[in-house]
Amino acid sequence: MAATVPNDVFFAPIPELNARLKAKEFSVEDLVRAFSLRLQQLGPTYNALALSLHQAALKQAKEVDKEFKRERYRGPLQGIPYGVKDLLSYAKLPTTWGAKPYAAQVFDYNAAVIDKIAALGGVLTGKLSMVELAGGGGYRFPSASLTGPGLNPWDKTRWSGGSSSGSAAAVAAGLVPYAIGSETSGSIVTPASFCGVTALRPTYGLVSRYGAMALSWTLDKLGPFAHTAEECGIILQAIAGKDSRDPGSAGKSFYYTPQYARPVKDLKVGYAPSDFAEWVEPATRPAFEAAIAVLKASGIQLVETKLPDFPYGPALATILNGEMGSIFEPLIASGKVDELADPPQIAGLKASLELPAKDYLKAMRMRRLIQEEIAKLFGTVDVLLAPGRAGIAPKIDQPLDRAAAGPAPKDPGFRSIIPMGNLAGLPALVLPCGFAENMPIALQLVGVPYSENTLLAIGREFQSHTDWHKRHPA
């Protein structure tokens, strides 16, 4: 049935797919069927598929085909299939949150982002796997998921990363052109880095979380996984915007405007040399050095920078534990928390109920100081640059809390950039930048709130001189 769609569509960027639909090279129904069957067939081999929406997707595709026939164009996402992390509600079908206690949970409404994309003619083909409860409570093994450990499309003995494991793996394997994931502290940055895809963590409050599982009211964010920075901009424009149903909504829209971006040679990018020379695993260093050389060649000014000295990790953990304990109190009190797959996660959730209010409030006050100091830091640089992760994806049977080999470098560098960025609500862009031991590695760029266009401009510039974003697993 899908023979009318050539194989090159599976890794083609969104604007190209949309142009080929307009040119009637194939129909929306053909494209959606091809991707949906591929997701059904290959998704389980990576433990990436939580729920196929094949029949609903084909029905919607036929309606979008009618719009193309009438030349009623709604933008670049029209007719393009995609997937969402299974913490987003989809009316009348299960939304499991990756966890056994919620395996039969059904909502009667869609998440805001699903309705927004549907209004632009996007076609949802499936719900994608995730770490149970988006990792709430802290988990020790990649197997902490209802669907089993997320398997990396580059090497199935390795992890695809958490907690948006299925979103990253599905894009990397060409099962969906793009996917929506979430981040509370690293759940977009980590899987994108491990799977070699481009991803964007938006500014806190820019994308409505209505219909999304809450893990932490003041930290949760939704964002896109795709192949290019340009696609992330297109998707963010579609899903951003105010929503009175989300108390954390910033009340702002986002318009992707590459034509108005500042020239990259005018930008100062702060970085810590120790991150790339000492903190990252030795096998990754040549690729990171080459990536930095590309940025320098584009005219970007790299400036040695230090993060203000704060206990970012403990502050974030305290806030997360306080909010998570409140959110999941019914699960913990009922005893159903014991049905989760990861014993350390069960223990972490139970312990969250014991957090003193004074500790939570102290952490929130410290967060305000962090935001003020980081704002001062951004008075001297426009963007911060760091490795996406210090090494390649770990083996799926390795504990995630294993200690690093050897003594830690004296200079802390930007080791805390993920908790810092999430505490301050900052946007981050993940860019594939090379390989080590045949596995992808990535850079992350972090900017001030609402500086997504600046990050995307750097991403586009980098991707115009490299082809790491075009590589895909065999």
Give the residues across from 384 on adjacent strands: 270, 446
For 218, other C-beta atoms within 10 Å of its C-beta total 18
Q: For residues 169 and 116, give the distance between their C-alpha atoms in angstroms, rounded to a whole number.
A: 24
Q: Per this entry, what is the length of the chain?
A: 474
Residue type, 186: G
* Complete DSSP assignment for 76-120: TTTT-EEEEETTB--TTSB--TT-GGGTT-B-SS--HHHHHHHHT
Annotated active-site residue in 52, 143, 182, 187:
187
Return all residues near 410 (Cβ < 8 A) that are at least 6 apart.
none
Report which DSSP code applies to 425: T
How many CA atoms within 13 Å lie on the side-chain side of 127?
20
DSSP-assigned letter for residue 240: B
State the residue for tokens 């579609």: 238
**CA–CA dist 237, 220 (Å, integer):** 19
**Catalytic residue (one of 36, 52, 85, 451):** 85
Query: Is the distance from CB of 193 to CB of 440 less than 8 angstroms?
Result: yes
Vertex 44, ends 106 and 178: CA angle to 5°?
75
The span from the CA of 49 to the CA of 129, in Å, is: 5
Is 89 designated active site? no
CA angle 300, 304, 307 (to 5 degrees): 115
Rg of the chain's alpha carbons, rounded to an integer? 21
- Is 208 within 8 Å of 108 (Cβ atoms)? no
- In angstroms, how far apart are the furthest CA atoms of the chain? 65
Residue with tokens 């395996």: 103
Q: Is 187 a catalytic residue?
A: yes
- Catalytically annotated residue among 89, 163, 164, 216: 163
For 259, 285, 460, the CA distances from 457, given in Å and listed in that order, are 9, 25, 5
Q: Which two tokens stand for residue 17?
A: 């797919």
Residue with tokens 């910033």: 250
Residues 6+ apart with CB under 8 A from 326: none
Does 163 qualify as catalytic in the annotation?
yes
Catalytic residues: 85, 163, 187
